[in-house]
Amino acid sequence: AELLEVVEMGQRAAELRSQAFIRELQTEISDLRNRCSTLTQLTQSQDHVSFFKSYPAYSSLPETKSWAEVALTPDPTAGAVLRNVTQMVEEVQEALKRLSTI
4 pLDDT more than 80: no
39 vs 23, 45, 93, CA distance in Å? 24, 10, 68
Model confidence pTM above 0.85: no
pLDDT at 32: 86
The answer on pLDDT for 92 being more than 80 is: yes
What's the rounded mean pLDDT across residues 20-26? 90
pLDDT at residue number 76: 66
Boundaries of every domain in the chain: 2-73
Task: Read off the pLDDT of residues 43-63 as tens digits, 9 standing for 90 and up.
Answer: 787 777 777 777 666 666 677
- pLDDT score recorded for residue 87: 82
What's the distance, Cα to Cα, between the start and end of the chain in Å? 33
Average pLDDT score over residue span 73-84:
70
CA dihedral sign of residues 35, 62, 69, 5: negative
Q: Report pLDDT for 26.
A: 92
| Whole-angstrom distance, CA of residue 23 vs CA of residue 62 | 18
Decide if pLDDT at 90 tops 70.
Answer: yes
Do residues 31 and 62 make contact, with C-beta atoms less than 8 angstroms apart?
Answer: yes
